[in-house]
Structure 1
Amino acid sequence: MLEKRAVEFQLEEEVRGKHVKEPFCSQYHCGSLLGRGGFGSVFSGHRLSDGQQVAIKQISSDRVQQWARLPGDVSPVPMEIALLQRLSEVGGHGGVISMLDWFEVEGQGFLLVLERPPQYQDLFDFITERGALPERLALRFFRQIVEALQFVHAHGIVHRDIKDENIVVDTRTLEVKIIDFGSGAPLKETPYSEFEGTRVYSPPEWILSQSYEAVSLTVWSLGVLLFDMVCGDIPFERDQEIVRATPIFTRRISKECQSLIRWCLAYRPEERPTLEEILSHPWMEGGEVEEGGDLQEDPSSLPSQSL
């Protein structure tokens, strides 16, 4: 879980950025720490020119697992920057967090300037505070996530760390966004042999043979995530449970929803659905959710954080 506390973040003035002449400190103000994860820390901030609220992710160079080179750039950058830059260049997607800019801080690492929804809560906290979600609300979130992942895959990227902590919910609109591409990689059809994602969301084939393919990994993680949403917690904690691949439903869940979860959590990777097959599953086609019909109270009254 991210550590959330306020600290001051000191920045060097000499920075390098994507087609940027002005240094970071001339364009943005960096505020308090919002969270800290395995790949870096995230701070609140705003753009000085117009006051737009942003999130500023700081990545230490010694924590970077994969590097990439951008066209026309001599020095390598963290893979996360290259992946988000690619998605930005094709117009982005409403269900994926947008990178507005990036900078290199000499001797310290890199800064990513990201969009910041005005009212948000990550899905982990959303579920922790509210408990298991009604299936209609879970469906609303899940459809958005799968459609966003279709976009990500269509543009040659695999996220590799889909989980509740990497989904943020706009508590006013109930729109969701996928965040944190720190474990991401270029999409390929051949197996991967490295994994920096979250073990309890990883599939049996990774536990047993340290190998997996992009789509089957993603779909397994989606099965864990959907179970988490409708039951209030993840289905597997230990390696033995993951390898057994038999979720035990702790709440009364519709047969259609159980069917989709079990399909996503099929032991054999080749027996799992594609993203397109998920979207055409009977549970997913159970009807569009009515606006505002998922929550008993006004969503704007839900607890939220300002990133």
Structure 2
Amino acid sequence: MASRSYKSNNTVQCSASTKRHSEESLERPSKKSRTSPSSPSDSCSLKAVTEESTASLKRKSTADETEEGPRKRSRVTPIPAEDHRETPCGSCPNEDAQPSSNLEDHDVPLISPLAKAIKAAFDEKYVEQELLGKGGFGAVFAGYRRQDNVPVAIKHIHLSSVEIIKVPGDLGDRKLPLEVALLLQAKPPESGPSAVVGLLNWYVVGQELILVLERPVPCMELGDYFRTRQFPMPEHEVKVIGKQLVDALIEIHSRGVFHRDIKMENILIETGSDVPRVRIIDFGCGTFVTEEAYTSGPGTPLYKSPEWIINRRYKAEPATVWQLGFLLYTMVHGHYPFNYPQKKVFGNLYVRQNLSNNCLRFLQSCFLTAPEDRATLEALKDHPWLV
């Protein structure tokens, strides 16, 4: 997908391509902020739905089964067709999505009256506007909620690329898309500010999963924000973002969620106030936090930690700390710390001479090769560079 907010799914952010060599400065093209008009577009476009039965869903190997290996699937249970009759769409606490009885004709083929009802429920509630980004598994559009003109991001994903898990509940197990389950768990139960861009609603229309997400306005991706600033960014500005990122990652991990793909494209910066605010998006490569090591490798190869390169195993917190260090290093230097995997293990880390000692030590604590020696998120929170 192009460098836009709300990436469509794992294919772009989990791609195996390395973007640039570390010695090259990052380019600074002019890009637009993700503000959007509040007027409706001429039409609401949904992808065509196929005749394929949902009972035969199998996750394909494009995103999760990268060259690093397939994702562990102990929780995966395909959604049988009858579940779509019982639960036509998902409803989050602050929304009340129900299928509409309006079965008007649409400009896309629909496989059943139920699919028409769900499509009508979506159209009744939301207006879809311009494309924000596109990837191999789907696309993300700007939009707004009809009731109050609240901006939203609308993410379309083909069900063939969606992992389904069983989530225990008071009324028994419930089958949910993994990304939906992660977003629901990452959001705090009580209303209030959160670093996670929240899920407002979700729908299954035929063979497509539709996620309706918050869309902060005005905002831009961290990479775009980075290119609008002094190049490379002054240390004191990076520190403001770094402190918020550490707090955000502690928040997410404390709720048992492992994002697994922390990078500039998956971080938004709200720019409507004097102090930029960090928001985390796109849990398409995510999973749940466990004490055991992970042996599959979704995520962006350039950001992978050395323990994955050496042993094809990694744990949640050390891998997250490595990605955080990679991100902050890039911001204070204007280039990536490593340009090929072997340097993560055997190479020396170049640092600017004019960095403060505290900043240097912070970065070094993120880049220790042995994961058990790497700083924890809590230790980083109390590090002198951020205090």
With normalisation by structure 1, the TM-score equals 0.84
Distance 1:11 1:60, change over 3 A: closer
Distance 1:16 1:73, change over 3 A: farther
Taking every aligned residue pair, what percent have the same amino acid on both sides?
Answer: 36
CA contact (8 A) 1:58 1:111 kept: yes
Partner of 2:316: 214
1:190 aligned residue (292, 305, 313):
292
SS at match of 1:219: helix
Shift of residue 172, structure 1, vs aligned partner: 2.1
The CA deviation string for residues 2-28 of structure 1, in whole angstroms up to 9 with x for no partner, is: 256999732579962326214211111
Structure 2 distance, partners of 1:252, 1:141, is 19
Structure 2 distance, partners of 1:142, 1:40, is 31
Establish whether residue 122 from structure 1 lines up as the match of residue 221 from structure 2. Answer: yes
Structure 1 distance, partners of 2:228, 2:364, is 26
Shift of residue 207, structure 1, vs aligned partner: 1.2
Computing the radius of gyration from Cα coordinates, the structure with the larger value is 2
Structure 1 distance, partners of 2:293, 2:340, is 24
Partner of 1:254: 356
CA contact (8 A) 1:11 1:105 kept: no
Partner of 1:2: 2
Distance 1:273 1:39, change over 3 A: farther
Partner of 1:167: 267
Distance 1:181 1:39, change over 3 A: farther
Q: Which has the higher contact order (CA 8 A, sep 6+)?
A: 2
Distance 1:233 1:247, change over 3 A: same
Shift of residue 216, structure 1, vs aligned partner: 0.4
Partner of 1:67: 164
CA contact (8 A) 2:188 2:194 kept: no
1:278 aligned residue (371, 380, 385):
380
Partner of 2:90: 17
Partner of 1:269: 371
Which has the larger displacement, 229-238 or 71-80? 71-80
Shift of residue 89, structure 1, vs aligned partner: 5.8
Partner of 2:112: none
Question: Which amino acid is 1:67 matched to?
Answer: I
The CA deviation string for residues 180-223 of structure 1, in whole angstroms up to 9 with x for no partner, is: 11111110011001121111111001112211000000000011
RMSD: 2.5
With normalisation by structure 2, the TM-score equals 0.68
Distance 1:74 1:187, change over 3 A: closer
Structure 1: any 5+ residue segments left out of the alignment? 286-307
SS at match of 1:76: strand
Question: Which amino acid is 2:46 matched to?
Answer: Q
Structure 1 distance, partners of 2:142, 2:195, is 21
SS at match of 2:355: coil
State the 4+ residue runs in structure 1 displaced beyond 4 angstroms: 3-8, 11-15, 72-75
The CA deviation string for residues 122-171 of structure 1, in whole angstroms up to 9 with x for no partner, is: 01112233322111111111111111111111111111000111111112
Which has the larger displacement, 249-258 or 70-79? 70-79
